[in-house]
Structure formats: C-alpha cells, structure tokens
Amino acid sequence: MPRILAVDDSPSMRQMVSATLTSAGYEVDQAEDGVQALQLAGKHRFDLVITDVNMPNMDGITLVRELRGKPNYKFVPLLILTTEATSERKMQGKSAGATGWLVKPFNPDRLLATIQKVLV
C-alpha cells in the first residue's frame, strides 16, 4: 500500500488524519512541522504528502516548495490540508507546487476519495 506522510503541528489533527488513512490500509508516517517532514522525506520515499499550512519552524507552503525542488518529489502528490480558504493563500499553494487544497474540517470519506484520485 502507498506510504503517506502527514504533517501537522497539532497532535490531534495528525492522529485523525492518520486514523483515517490507516483504516483505509495506507501506511502513515507523521511529522510535526516542515523541517521534520523534510528530514523524513529525505530518508524515505513517500507516495503522497499531506500538510497543514501554519506550523512552527517551517510552514506548509514552504515545505511544498522545498519538496518540489527535490527530484524524488517532482511528481509526488502534495496536498495541503488547512483551515485557511482565502483565494490568495490557495494561489500561494498552487504556485509552490501543491496538487490540491483541502479545507478543514476534513470529511474522512472525501479525504480518502481525493487521495485515491491523486494517487492514480
């Protein structure tokens, strides 16, 4: 099954994303900010990364930009899962190289459907 990296500074959000994905059979690793996520992404090859935007040390938009700069992650789906929904922020995410933008609170079925869609 695909391996997914879930990035969020909130432990409860990480757990909820992780619970949703593992129940669907995905293997899930967790990181609490962009810096930790980049380190993990350097060690392992993830099939998809789903990240929050507002996090300490490194935000999600920067993380997406950094990952897109790496050859291994040029074509890997990078999803942003955030409470932010302004057009301006979405455009920043798109410019950084995000595959999609999901607004919290996420619906588990919808999240899984989106992941299936972008992993194809």
Q: Which is nearer to other proteins, 43 or 86 (CB)?
A: 86
Q: How far is the CB of 85 from other proteins (least distance, A)?
A: 4
Q: Which is nearer to other proteins, 40 or 94 (CB)?
A: 94
Binding-site ranges for other proteins (CB under 8 A): 10-13, 15-16, 18-20, 22-23, 25, 54, 82-87, 90, 93-94, 98-110, 114, 117-118
Whether the CB-CB separation of 4 and 25 falls below 8 Å is answered with no
**CA angle at residue 102 from 100 to 104, to 5 degrees?**
165
Q: How far is the CB of 29 from other proteins (least distance, A)?
A: 15
Q: Which is nearer to other proteins, 44 or 109 (CB)?
A: 109
Q: How far is the CB of 87 from other proteins (least distance, A)?
A: 6
How many other C-beta atoms are found inside a 10 Å radius of the C-beta of residue 18? 17
The CB-side HSE value for 61 (13 A sphere, CA atoms) comes to 11
73: nearest Cα among 91, 98, 101, 110: 98
